[in-house]
């Protein structure tokens, strides 16, 4: 049985580890090689040009792709990592809250207050 005070401590511990929600980004970072059709010696040799793309999926199968400059890639990586860390922390907090609700319901605490 989880006590409310313990749940509060656990939630606060999780919250202290979470990144700033203003610095999150959802999506996938892709590294692509782009080839020009003609007129580029590098592409004619088969080398192509490195390009970074952020791909974000939406409901209904829609996707948005944003081309990135190389200097943006470190920030995008950090923000993607922040998103995953924040999401995992929120899931942990939700699990704690569910446990508190189950324990309160199982003990009849809410029923006694209504009677």
Distance (Å, whole) CA 107 – CA 1:
9
pLDDT at position 18 is: 95
Half-sphere exposure of 80 (CA within 13 A, CB side): 14
pLDDT tens-digit readout, 26-79: 999 999 998 888 888 888 888 889 999 999 999 999 999 999 999 999 999 999
Give the pLDDT confidence score for residue 61 in this predicted structure: 93
pLDDT of residue 20: 94
- E strands in the chain: 28-34, 49-57, 63-68
Strand-pair category, 28-34 with 63-68: unpaired
Q: Are 39 and 49 in contact (CB under 8 A)?
A: no
- State pTM to two decimals: 0.77
In the sheet that 63-68 helps form, which strands lie side by side, from edge to edge? 28-34, 49-57, 63-68
């Amino acid at each position: 049985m989880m006590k409310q005070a313990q749940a509060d401590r656990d939630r606060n511990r999780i919250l202290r580890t979470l990144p700033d929600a203003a610095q999150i980004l959802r999506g996938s970072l892709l590294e692509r090689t782009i080839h020009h059709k003609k007129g580029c010696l590098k592409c004619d040799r088969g080398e192509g040009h490195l390009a970074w793309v952020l791909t974000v999926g939406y409901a209904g199968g829609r996707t948005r792709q944003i081309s990135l400059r190389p200097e943006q890639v470190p920030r995008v990586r950090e923000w993607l990592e922040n998103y995953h860390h924040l999401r995992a922390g929120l899931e942990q907090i939700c699990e704690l809250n569910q446990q508190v609700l189950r324990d309160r319901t199982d003990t009849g605490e809410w029923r006694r207050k209504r009677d």
